[in-house]
Amino acid sequence: MKVLVIHGPNLHLLGQRETDIYGETTLKEINDQLKQLAEKNKIKLKIVQSNHEGEIVDLIGKSKESDINAILINPAAYTHTSVAIRDAIAAVKIPTVEVHLSNVYAREEFRHTSLVAPVAHGQITGFGVHSYILGLLAILKLIKK
């Protein structure tokens, strides 16, 4: 089984950026935790971080030909703005879980709308690094069905 993990814009700055909101954990540390969980469950991960909407759309669009079984995505700021990412997820029909480190619904009003959530199987928000772990666990359940 193969899972595509997509980290959206500015997530490469985790651990340095707005630590009061996003915590001090780095993206590398998140990826290491995901890899450990994946290894225990005999899953391969393809992990990508991109600040570019078109690159994210391309990754999602090519996921079927890359034998991807599920997508774990933190679209970051694109959550609230990208119809293109939303449409790519809808088009590939691959189980997708949306995650966010912070509770987007407890933040600014513009963050309360996710364009991705309606086409994802679920959304996990507000648990810091654990949002990613819970997201991967949810994907394991979806894939095993």
**3-state SS assignment for residue 17:** coil
133: pLDDT confidence band, cut at 50, 70 and 90?
Answer: very high
Residue 40's alpha-carbon distances to 17, 33, 109, in angstroms, are: 31, 11, 39
18: pLDDT confidence band, cut at 50, 70 and 90?
Answer: confident
- Tell me which of 9-23, 36-50, 66-80 is least confident: 9-23
- HSE-CB of 27 using CA atoms within 13 angstroms: 17
Query: Which architecture characterizes domain 2-144 according to CATH?
Result: 3-Layer(aba) Sandwich (3.40)
Tell me what the pLDDT averaged over the chain comes to: 93
The structural domains of the chain, with segments of one domain joined by +, span: 2-144
Residue type at position 35: K
- pLDDT(20) > 80: no
- pLDDT(16) > 70: yes
114: pLDDT confidence band, cut at 50, 70 and 90?
Answer: very high
Q: Which of 31, 3, 62 is nearest to 133 (CA)?
A: 31
Catalytic residues, by residue number, are: 22, 100
145: pLDDT confidence band, cut at 50, 70 and 90?
Answer: low
The pLDDT of 117-134, averaged and rounded, is: 96
Scanning the structure block, which residue is given the tokens 């997509």?
6
The residues, ordered by sequence, that sit 6+ positions from 38 with a Cβ below 8 Å of its Cβ are 3, 44, 45, 136
**Prediction pTM value:** 0.93
